[in-house]
């Protein structure tokens, strides 16, 4: 019948089309996103908006290694200082053992210390994780946290002490060691949720 005669021809035509499309896809010609690209002519110059042009320096945070670690597959806790006045955090820390409120989690260097105590609260899987970053750069737990529990830092951002016009000649940021001297949770009144 005629239908069976067309079927092999249609199959051959389909294979030929796939081969020609596949051959074009294997070329190293740049594509600029236009519907009708003309390789070699439509090459888009770097306008400074690419990810590489906006790469920033992330610096590792000094953790309290007696209680906290970063798991191998996680992003380590890091900070980025923008214009010497704005600090952004990222990464995760995990408890090795149960930790009590007031335990130091990490310490930021002088240039990244906040101008005031900064609370950070994350609720995950029914558990609140809360820290308070003191003006001396030491972050302490505000609540007890069980062993093998984690605290994400992505989204934690604040003004550094320099945002208010502070400078090193005027004494700089408060000094502190990882285990001493931080503002404690009793000394700061946290804002209440208004739900």
Q: Which residue pairs, CB below 8 angstroms and at least 24 apart, start in 150-153?
A: 150/71, 150/74, 150/92, 150/93, 150/94, 150/95, 150/124, 151/92, 151/93, 151/94, 151/105, 151/122, 152/91, 152/92, 152/122, 152/124, 153/77, 153/89, 153/90, 153/91, 153/92, 153/93, 153/120
- Whole-number Å distance between alpha carbons of 2 and 119: 78
- Which residues touch 47 (CB under 8 Å, ≥6 apart)? none
Q: What is the pLDDT of residue 188?
A: 43
Question: How confident is the prediction along the chain (195 residues), in pLDDT tens digits per residue?
Answer: 455 555 777 777 777 666 555 555 545 555 444 444 445 554 555 555 555 556 788 999 999 999 999 888 889 999 999 888 899 999 999 999 999 999 999 999 999 999 999 999 998 888 889 999 999 999 999 999 999 888 999 999 999 988 877 654 455 554 544 444 444 444 444 444 433
Q: What is the pLDDT of residue 128?
A: 87
**CA distance to 90, 98, 125, 170, per residue, from 82 (Å):** 14, 34, 32, 21
- Whole-number Å distance between alpha carbons of 144 and 97: 11
Q: Which of 176, 55, 57 is nearest to 113 (CA)?
A: 176
């Amino acid at each position: 019948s005629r239908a069976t005669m067309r079927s092999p021809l249609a199959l051959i035509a389909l294979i030929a089309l796939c081969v020609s499309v596949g051959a074009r896809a294997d070329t190293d010609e740049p594509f600029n996103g236009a519907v009708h690209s003309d390789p070699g002519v439509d090459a888009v110059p770097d306008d400074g908006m690419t990810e590489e042009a906006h790469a920033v320096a992330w610096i590792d945070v000094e953790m309290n290694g007696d209680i906290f670690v970063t798991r191998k597959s996680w992003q380590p806790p890091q900070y980025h200082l923008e214009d010497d006045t704005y600090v952004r955090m990222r990464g995760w820390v995990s408890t090795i053992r149960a930790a009590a409120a007031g335990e130091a989690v990490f310490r930021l260097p002088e240039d990244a210390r906040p101008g005031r105590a900064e609370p950070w609260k994350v609720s995950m899987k029914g558990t609140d994780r809360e820290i308070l970053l003191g003006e001396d750069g030491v972050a302490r737990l505000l609540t007890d946290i069980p062993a093998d529990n984690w605290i994400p830092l992505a989204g934690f951002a604040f003004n550094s002490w320099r945002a208010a016009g502070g400078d090193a000649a005027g004494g700089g940021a408060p000094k502190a060691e990882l285990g001493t001297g931080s503002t404690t949770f009793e000394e700061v009144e946290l804002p209440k949720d208004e739900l």
